[in-house]
Structure 1
């Protein structure tokens, strides 16, 4: 009887360490974050009084929050669309290579092997208005030097370019894996019917790849919303808050001004936005529907 019980409880016992780690590093921090969002919480204060919804009211009345929401929206939409477009082109090209494919894949994937802080520091040097390589090429074209990270109208595009350089390979490798898994039969039938390459791509490749595309876009969108490393290394949220995203104002208020309650409220708002986005996308496209289910 003991052997029988151990046999069927074994898989559950094996899950215990993982569940404990999940509780420790995911569930508990989320519950704690939710709790302090209703407090005037500071790590250097002995008393952290309950203030109800005051932090949330302050968040929605703060123009910096709405500016950060706008900047985050512009950044996410711009990077995700461009990364998808460039990644799809690269995936199609690599999928059609007959030799040297692994070498070119390795070269293209190099950016995502680098830490975001390293990429941010590298682009900060490259975009320096005195000795940056960007300005070197601009001068070769006969134009004057540009302060990429100091000009309000150029700082956010500079961040977008940096993000595209690093994370386009992520989009590419997901789409390439999807292309590798597509069956050959529809293409052979289309070729017999006289379909062009563009028609095959438009009416066969894209529909069959749709779920992979939705998942890639969703994963990259969630990740882009959380951008912080590049901002810290390149612009520090400036100039005049044009690169201040949601993640940056959480750091700015929470860790620079030690207003953890306010920062926690912003985190909860951001969490609600991400969960809502995730729910709407999964519901609209039913990404995890079992194939063939009615």
Structure 2
């Protein structure tokens, strides 16, 4: 009788339809309208469309000619590399270290995860105090130790580092927790057998831990790359309007600037489409390179 319950698929639609309706109204319909709006002439929020642009593809021509958009895409690609190396890479090292200690593991798990709990706005203001405000805490410490030439962290040479360091620091704990969970699923019997065979700790990590953690790492990489496309709040708090000279634009912050500051809604819709397309392409590339394996 139990098997007959699972053969009847009709009740499943009762539970699937509300979720599908919610996504259709709040995800698919807005996305399709966003595509339509990219061909319209809309001069501000809550303003009615003035009709199709002349020519209708003018926003896409503008997109290719916009130097600020090129800067935003390049910076976003750099952010992806930073997230792969600085977030997932550091998280792997921390997870391996914490997994190999017997005392204080819970303490370190809490400490590394804690930045995720803090609001990105609060973190942005905190790092403004560290780097940007009134010479910043870093420069004040440098003065304390006798430095005569202080670094202008808003300068174009340092601005990307100043912006990306907090973003990298904030999300290390997120991937750390995912990797720790993956490490906990690896059987201790494998490590015990390898110890009996005379394997060193480095060999156990190389030949047991990392291969069995491969799929978890792949998941983290995909999340990191797609997350880099959506980074907005912390960079906007630190470098509003892409200063200096638009050098710190990201696709997310530039789209918000066009929407809320400039009021060029149709062009912002075009940027949003580029973000989606870029996310799909990059995710596909990452999934192809870091293909999951069956064990």
TM-score by length of 1: 0.89
The structural deviation recorded for 1:124 is 0.8
Q: Does the CA contact (< 8 Å) of 1:152 and 1:242 recur in 2?
A: yes
Shift of 1:46: 5.0
**1:106-255 paired onto structure 2 within 5 Å:** 106-130=110-134, 132-144=136-148, 145-148=150-153, 150-236=154-240, 237-255=242-260
1:280 to 279, 285, 288: 285
Q: Report the counterpart of residue 52 of structure 2 in structure 1.
A: 49
Moved more, 209-218 or 74-83: 74-83
Residues 8, 187 of structure 1: CA spacing in aligned structure 2 closer, same or farther, 3 A cutoff? closer
Q: Does 1:35 align with 2:39?
A: no
- Counterparts of 1:69 and 1:258 in 2: how far apart (Å)? 21
Q: Contact 1:129–1:135 (CA<8 Å) still a contact in 2? A: no
Structure 2 residue matching 1:127: 3-state secondary structure: helix
d(CA) in 2 for partners of 1:234 and 1:282?
32
- Residues 88 and 224 in structure 2, CA contact (< 8 A), matched pair in contact too: no
How many Å apart are 1:134 and its aligned residue?
Answer: 1.9
2:24 — aligned with what? 23
Residue 82 of structure 2 corresponds to residue 78 of structure 1: yes
Deviations 1:157-194 (A, max 9, x none): 01111112211101111111111111223322322222
1:119-140 Cα shifts (integer Å, max 9, x gaps): 1111112223526322232223
Name 1:103's counterpart in structure 2.
107
Query: What CA distance in whole angstroms lies between the structure 1 residues aligned with 2:20 and 2:48?
Result: 33
- SS for the counterpart of 1:130 is helix
Q: Distance in 2 between matches of 1:283 and 1:46?
A: 41
How well do the aligned residues superpose, as a CA RMSD in angstroms?
2.1
Question: What are the ranges of 5 or more consecutive residues in structure 1 without an aligned counterpart?
Answer: none
Find the aligned partners of 1:255 and 1:283 in 2 and give their Cα distance: 37
Aligned counterpart, 2:12: 11
Q: Does the residue aligned with 2:132 lie in a helix, a strand or coil?
A: coil
Contact 1:68 1:249 in 2 (8 A): yes
In structure 2, C-alpha distance between the alignment counterparts of 1:84 and 1:45, rounded to whole Å: 44
Tell me, yes or no, if structure 1 residue 62 matches structure 2 residue 66.
yes
C-alpha displacement at 1:104, in angstroms? 2.4
Q: Is the 8 A contact 2:222 2:287 kept in 1?
A: no
- The separation in 2 between residues aligned to 1:95 and 1:186, in whole angstroms, is 15
Query: What does the per-residue CA deviation read over 1:53-100, in whole Å, with 9 as the maximum and x for residues that have no partner?
Result: 221121012111111111111122123311122211211122123233
Q: Output the CA distance in 1 between the equivalents of 2:170 and 2:290.
A: 28
Deviates more, 1:277-286 or 1:232-241: 277-286
Q: Is the 8 A contact 2:218 2:287 kept in 1?
A: no
